[in-house]
Amino acid sequence: MKPSSRLLAHANASEVRSGRKELPTVSFVGQKGGVGKSTLARLFAVGAAHRGLKPILADFDLEQLTCVEWNAIRLQNSVEPDIDVRAFKSLKKLRKNEDRAGIVVVDTRGLADELTLDIAEESDVVFLPTGVSGYDLRPTLALARKLAKQGAEGRIVVELSKIGRSDAQLQKAMETIEASGFEQLAEHWPQRDGFQADLDSGRAGRESRNPYLRETAEKMETALFARLESARPR
Ligand SMILES: Nc1ncnc2c1ncn2[C@@H]1O[C@H](COP(=O)(O)OP(=O)(O)OP(=O)(O)O)[C@@H](O)[C@H]1O
Ligand SMILES: [Mg+2]
């Protein structure tokens, strides 16, 4: 798949002036832990790298450093392409260091704080992965409302993640999001054990060694990129 000219333009590092705000930025945020933020951030970064978009995967979860650790394993296992994965404590530091990147992919902690709000404010699309249960959906939608109030309205996309085999549960979750008025991604991220083995070997998303999982990941990647492509300019 070809990236749009807007994304490609940013992939040209010479066009990126340090500190400017237009570098495409997507973030994965949430109020709940373990819902797939880091997994989808890695899937997205891998998709961007394969599209020649020079991603920087910014890991703001300094306690877990999931993406940084994953990249170390990736390097140990010589998985290509190389991805620039770095830990950041502040947005300011990220903005100072992104000048050679074409796109910024942000992974955040499993607890929304002031930094999460700032990251959302500077993102073209803010993905909120969530499980299907009410215990996941309620805090996710509460956070979505908070982000919307802070000015991220129209850029928030709720995404049903790690979904099980129950169609009824999925349907109910979709209706709950619909009733909230927030946008939801049409593609869902299914729970499949094989994704964990891939992540443990430094792969993500389309790099899965299992053809079925690869296809599943590619569909998710396509949906996430399509949403970024349709984002309104900030
Ligand atoms: N589709 C999937 N199927 C099975 N396991 C998955 C899937 N997606 C993610 N996982 C696993 O679920 C766990 C949590 O995922 P992940 O680390 O992406 O969540 P997170 O939202 O970043 O969590 P945290 O809030 O702790 O940072 C990980 O062990 C990951 O490998
Ligand atoms: Mg995480």
Locus of tokens 């249960």: 133
pLDDT at 17 over 60: no
Closest residue by Cα to residue 172 from 234, 130, 216: 130
How high is the pLDDT of residue 90? 95
State in Å: Cα 161 to ligand 1 middle: 9
Mean pLDDT within 30-51:
97
Tokens of 123: 């993102």
How high is the pLDDT of residue 2? 47
State in Å: Cα 20 to ligand 1 middle: 32
Give burial (CB, 10 Å; 0-12/13-18/19+) of 218: middle
How confident is the model over 117-133, as pLDDT tens digits? 999 999 999 999 999 99
The best mutation among 27, 29, 39 to test binding of ligand 1, ranked by most ligand atoms within 8 Å of the C-beta, falls on: 39
Share of the chain above pLDDT 90, in %: 86
Mean pLDDT of the chain: 92
Q: Which residue has the higher pLDDT, 14 or 27?
A: 27
Locus of tokens 């919307």: 148
Q: How many CA atoms lie within 13 A of 178 on its CB side?
A: 7
How high is the pLDDT of residue 232? 82
pLDDT at 159 over 50: yes
DSSP string across 86-125: EE-S-HHHHHHH-TT-SEEEEE--SS--HHHHHHHHT-SE
How confident is the model over 177-208, as pLDDT tens digits? 999 999 999 999 999 999 999 999 999 999 99
How high is the pLDDT of residue 233? 78
Q: Which domains does the chain have, with CATH numbers?
A: 22-229 (3.40.50.300)
Partner residues linked to 128 by β-bridges: 158
Partner residues linked to 62 by β-bridges: none
Q: How confident is the model at residue 6 (pLDDT cuts 50, 70, 90)?
A: low
State in Å: Cα 29 to ligand 2 middle: 9
Tell me the one-letter amino acid at 27.
S
pLDDT at 19 over 90: no
Closest residue by Cα to residue 152 from 129, 125, 181: 125
Taking residue 169's Cβ as centre, other Cβ atoms within 10 Å add up to 15
The best mutation among 27, 28, 31, 38 to test binding of ligand 1, ranked by most ligand atoms within 8 Å of the C-beta, falls on: 38
Residues 6+ apart with CB under 8 A from 180: 141, 144, 158
Q: How many CA atoms lie within 13 A of 34 on its CB side?
A: 4
